[in-house]
Amino acid sequence: MVERVALFVTCLADTLYPDVGKATVTVLERLGIEVVFPGEQTCCGQMHGNSGYPGEAVALARRFVDVFDGFDAIVTPSGSCAAQVREHFGDLLDGNDRGVPARTWELSQFLTGVLAREDVGSTFEGTVAYHPTCHSLRLLRVGDAPLRLLQAVPGVELVELPDAEECCGFGGTFAVKNADVSAAMLDEKIAAITASGAECVCACDSSCLMHIGGGLRRRGIAVRPVHLAEILAS
Amino acid sequence: MNAPRSDAAAARDARPESFPRAAPAALANQQVRANIRHATTTIRRKRAGVVAEVPDWELLRIAGSAIKDEALASLDSVLVELEESVRAAGGAVHWARDAAEANEIVVGLIRAEGVDEVVKVKSLATDEIRLNEALEGAGIRPIETDLAELIVQLAGERPSHLLVPAIHKNRREIRDLFSDRFGLPGLTDEPVELAEAARLHLREAFLRSRVAISGANFAAADTGTICVIESEGNGRMCTTLPEVLITVMGIEKAIPRFRDLEVFLQLLPRSSTGERMNPYTSLWTGVRDGDGPQRFHLVLLDAGRTRVLADPAGRPALRCIRCSACINVCPVYRQTGGHAYHSPYAGPIGAILAPQLAGETGAVASLPFASSLCGACYDVCPVLIDIPSILVHERGKVVAHERPGVEGRSLKLLGKAFATRAGYERAQRLGRSLQRPVARDGWITHFPPGPLGAWGRSRDLPAFPAQTFREWWESRDQRT
């Protein structure tokens, strides 16, 4: 039984979405898990790796392994950062990853897989459309773990998101290098969110929510982007 | 009947633009986008249905990728074996280093037959080398016989999809085109009537032409058998009626053994058209007295393929069997269609294959970035090409070639900052103070030009909050 985890908050949540980090701490502590935050952590290097800067990605992967090596479990509220660690570190580090990737968990996978919990003692009021982010779905393969967690929250009314598995168009630097295509993809995602009638759109990645949320705000649509951790912490 | 030089043809020959530059025009064409959305949605649904029926689909994918990898790993000997087998069966084999050499060989072969017209089976390799332009330049008229290729040729355009070259055109547009080019003012846009008009036009060509040109889906090295897969039967006409058949194939189409076809004939139709079996599978081995073409030429095309082969990380792109499943699920292709790629290989596979074939230079160097790395392509690939990983690999090659722009310099700086805790925390504080003058109500809505401006054209950005997570954590630690 895991009793103590290291939180990898991600550079994005640390800097722009501290509430997502706080919510992750709240959920884990509510379940009796001791949370440690190694202050030396910075970034997993996904942005560099995916943008064509493997040298920087390798250096950041090495740093990540050094910082988190001493922990039995590392938990992060991001599907894409967890996927970077679990799916790409092995190659980037030629296998010299000291087993850290296998001990790194995206929050919903940790809760449902490692702790075998679905009801984490939350309550929430509202209709929620769940957007499965690409890397959590197709790289990390979280499956229906986030949905099972949401279904177990009293007061959450899940509504169907049309074409839920389509990318929102973020894709890191893709959103600025191919801004027009990215925006066209976002338009479709926002149309689907609007059609769902949900009050909140929920996902396991702050980055995709930043993209969707920024698009919703620009278009004056009142749907609230909310991270899974925030619903579970409420 | 040749298409007159139109604006479309002029545009087609213009210097290719990078993907982000070509995309706005594609995005502005609502008709094309609607056609593509409709067609790809239909095909991907059909594909998902027929793939789900096959209990050993995942094993087939593994087998397909293993056979292709085996062929690629021993391509030197596989190709020599193919050459010997084809010669033993009465065919001739020609080796072409690049597009120009391949075109020269084909033109020479046609001239030797003394004809000025050829019928063509749908072929990506000949699109890639722009054979039709080379033929026209040599006074030889190529007639595309695949219905969609014919439509594209009559319109003076380029194909926009591997498998459905005229996916960007709807029935009404095709009616107008046929009505004009075939001189049929009363033509309606009923599919039956459109097909009949094309059939009459093509049947004359099949009976008249003495030389046909095809590509190849597969070529079995042990027997020298060439395989072409199609839906309409027009390819079958080309490979059986004329006296001479010239096949142009990329060298990566060779497979070691005839029996390997068993795997690919299951993978390809389900992945491409969403059919359990394709209507026409033509197989021929050299020539046979009194039956079919009496002279057969196989042109083996390199055109950058050995360069791809030399890079282990990029090499799996050569497994591609041109099914287009990746294209049909791609959310980027879905928005732009194929023309923005400026390559016969569009969509995810085009984004890794075209730059590799060209050596990561020119407009195609923008293609590896034309992806959000959503991974839908890898999930459907019948030969397990990890397209997202190769996209990332290709990005690295392009970045290494290019002078860094704003984005490159920013990423380098961030890389340095993130290497230490002090640098990272300094970057956080710097970001927060830089945005202070422009942030309103927790949001940034106005941006400077450059990457931030590109974001800001359609999205707001959350402002940095007063406290980072780590600052909160420290304050909490001190409290407890």
Report ipTM (2 d.p.): 0.97
Res A13 pLDDT > 90 = yes
Nearest-by-CA chain B residue for A25: B473
Average pLDDT on B78-93 reads 98
Q: Is-above-0.90 flag for pTM?
A: yes
CA distances from residue B290 to B196, B206, B241, B404 in whole angstroms, order as listed:
30, 18, 11, 63
Q: Are A76 and A106 in contact (CB under 8 A)?
A: yes
More confident residue, A85 or B232: A85
Q: Average pLDDT of chain B?
A: 93
Are A136 and A159 members of one domain?
yes
Residue B394's CB is within 10 A of a number of other CB atoms, namely 27
Residue type, B159: P
pLDDT at A128 over 80: yes
* Separation in Å, CA of B461 to nearest CA in chain A: 6
Q: Tell me which residue range forms the domain holding A54.
A: 4-114
Nearest-5° Cα angle at B252, B231 to B273? 25
In a domain, A101, yes or no: yes
Q: What is the pLDDT of residue A31?
A: 97
In terms of domains, do A136 and A94 share one? no
Mean predicted confidence (pLDDT) in A25-48: 97
For residue A77, pLDDT over 90 is answered with: yes
- pLDDT, one tens digit per residue, over B324-357 is 999 999 999 999 999 899 888 999 999 999 999 9
Retrieve residue B227's tokens.
């395989």
What is the per-residue pLDDT for B9? 47
Whether residue A121 is contained in a domain is answered as no
Residue A178 included in any domain: yes
- Looking at the fold, whether A99 and A149 belong to one and the same domain comes out as no
At B244-261, the pLDDT tens digits run 999 999 999 999 999 999
pLDDT category, B361, cuts 50, 70, 90? confident
pLDDT tier for residue B167 given thresholds of 50, 70 and 90: confident
Same domain? For A72 and A147 the reply is no
Query: Hey, of B372, B410, B433, B467, which one would you mutate to test binding to chain A, going by the most A CBs within 10 A of its CB?
Result: B372
pLDDT digit string (tens) for B106-130?
A: 999 999 999 999 999 999 999 999 9
pLDDT of residue B451: 86
Q: Strands of B244-250's sheet, edge to edge?
A: B92-96, B295-301, B244-250, B211-214, B117-120, B141-144
Domain contains A119? no
Residues 368-387 of B with CB under 8 A from A: 368-376, 378-379
Residues A38 and A110 in one domain: yes
User: Do A8 and A42 fall into the same domain?
Assistant: yes
Give which of B200, B283, B180 is closest to B240, Cα–Cα.
B283
**CB A218 to CB B445 under 8 A?**
yes
Are A159 and A96 in a shared domain?
no
Give the whole-angstrom CA distance, residue A220 versus residue B60. 48
Is the pLDDT score of B83 beyond 60? yes
- Among chain B residues, CA nearest to A64: B419
- How many other C-beta atoms are found inside a 10 Å radius of the C-beta of residue A212? 25
Q: Is the pLDDT of residue B101 over 70?
A: yes
Q: Which of A82, A114, A146 is the last residue of a domain?
A: A114
Q: Same structural domain for residues A85 and A39?
A: yes
Give the residue on B whose Cα is nearest the Cα of A53.
Answer: B396
Q: Average pLDDT, stretch A68-91?
A: 97
Q: What is the structure's pLDDT at B347?
A: 96
Q: Give the CA dihedral B150, B155, B160, B162, nearest 10 degrees.
A: 10
**Looking at chain B, which residue has its C-alpha nearest residue A62?**
B419
**A136 plus A226 within the same structural domain:** yes
Q: Does A136 fall in a domain?
A: yes
Q: B180-197: per-residue pLDDT in tens?
A: 999 999 999 999 999 999
One domain for residues A159 and A74: no
Look at residue A81 and tell me whether its pLDDT is greater than 80.
Answer: yes
Chain segment B5-53, per-residue pLDDT in tens: 444 444 445 568 899 999 999 999 998 899 899 989 999 999 999 999 9
CA distance B478 to B480: 6
pLDDT at B298 over 80: yes
pLDDT of residue B480: 58
The pLDDT of residue B171 = 86
Residue A50 lies in a domain: yes
Report the range of poorest mean pLDDT among A45-49, B446-450, B459-463: B446-450
Q: With 90 as the cut, is the pLDDT of residue B367 above it? A: yes
How far is the C-alpha of B294 from the C-alpha of B240, rounded, in Å? Answer: 10
User: Is A138 in Cβ contact with B375 (below 8 Å)?
Assistant: yes
Record: contact A18-B469, CB cut-off 8 A = yes
pLDDT score recorded for residue B408 = 87
> Residue B461's closest CA among A80, A61, A176?
A176
The mean pLDDT value of chain A amounts to 97
**Residue B4: what pLDDT?**
42
Q: What is the CATH number of the domain that holds A171?
A: 3.40.50
Would residue A120 count as lying in a domain?
no
Q: Is residue A72 part of a domain?
A: yes
Overall average pLDDT of the B303-330 stretch: 97
pLDDT score at B407 = 83
Q: Output the pLDDT for position A63.
A: 97
Residue B406: pLDDT over 90: no
Q: In whole angstroms, how far apart are CA B70 and each of A171, B77, B95, B219, B430?
A: 34, 11, 22, 14, 53
Among A114, A141, A163, the domain-final residue is A114
Q: Which of A114, A139, A161 is the last residue of a domain?
A: A114
Give residue B332's pLDDT. 97
Residue the block writes with tokens 């959103």: A175
| Whether residue A86 sits in one domain with residue A9 | yes
Please state the domain count of chain A: 2
Neighboring chain A residues of B407 at a CB cutoff of 8 Å: 51, 173, 176-177
- Judge if A91 and A173 occupy the same domain: no
Each residue's pLDDT tens digit, A135-190: 999 999 999 999 999 999 999 999 999 999 999 999 999 999 999 999 999 999 99
